Structure 1
């Protein structure tokens, strides 16, 4: 993405096509995360689209839980390789982000999710304000 810094979106709640459209990105099916670590992937659940171009109401699952988000983050990090890897940053707002927030070099919590803060505290994770 801009400045040569790879930026990826991992979402449990929003479909890949919705995220891509909101960000003005072309929709690229993220079937092989390791092969496209630098190209700005949207990794999320996807609405199934029929031949007429309308959705069927069915969802092709891509990311369903914290374990999935952590696995995607690990795969993207590994795909960069130690020779080209810079610092990793993960931005999250919910308990499903906690694993990846802790894996990143810099985990940034946005919003005021009481549930995320409660889960973090239960695991002994201390969240610090930026300012």
Structure 2
């Protein structure tokens, strides 16, 4: 996956490229958090919903469907009563989630600087 951008068959910067929709699913608010949560291991729907604090049932369901369709998440339904459904990352999903987690850790590690920059920005803009 460390190919040069020029060597790739798809171009996310092109409006009609199908990779753009996948990038939106992965980097959207709930997609990235869902992938990150599943990196820790298989989770049931409600476990995942608790882990991704703030996501509604509807949004989590839509997010999981999109990620499953993109081949990043595998849904395993167990024929039990009540039904048990587990979600886990595919090999591709693990690769993508690993890269996302590196970005998440970078952002979390820079939050002191970000908060300082925000305060400085707000002071400057508020003074105008």
TM tier, smaller: 0.3 to 0.5
- Indicate the structure whose relative CO is greater, using CA pairs within 8 Å and at least 6 residues apart: 2
Q: Which has the higher helix share?
A: 2
Q: Which has the higher strand share?
A: 1
For the pair shown, which has the larger CA radius of gyration, 1 or 2? 2
TM-score normalised over the length of structure 1: 0.32
